[in-house]
Amino acid sequence: MAKAHIQFVSKNGALIGSLVEIDTLVVPRAGELLDAYECLNLTKDDFGEFMVLSVVYKVTVDGFVPFITAREWCKGYRHELLQQRGWLMPTDSTSISYDEDDPAR
């Protein structure tokens, strides 16, 4: 089983906890939702749903290691965030941010 690293961030960009390392065969894609209640020991009163912003692979001698950044998510417009991240064609007024600047790196 491969390792993956996930950094959770709040809606305002603050880091939530430290980098989480998990064993997994699945690597989520940008735009997919993660239910992280159990992983972060949250109650249903907390926000525990996150959307994957980026996946950056570190190349090692043992293979690829995915570093995932996931942002707190609560019924927003995915297409706007994906446009901002460069995963969808941006509009003229979109402010672009870059995967290379993610805190999981």
Predicted pLDDT of residue 67: 96
Name residues whose C-beta falls within 8 Å of residue 18's C-beta, 6 or more positions apart in sequence. Answer: none
Confidence band for 104, pLDDT divided at 50, 70 and 90: low
Confidence band for 90, pLDDT divided at 50, 70 and 90: low
Predicted pLDDT of residue 88: 74
C-alpha distances in Å from residue 99, one per residue of 14, 36, 43, 75: 16, 21, 30, 22
Digit-coded pLDDT (tens) for 1-60:
689 999 999 988 899 888 999 999 999 998 899 999 888 888 777 888 999 988 999 999
- Among 16-25, 64-73, 77-86, the range scoring the smallest mean pLDDT is 77-86
- Output the pTM of the full model: 0.75
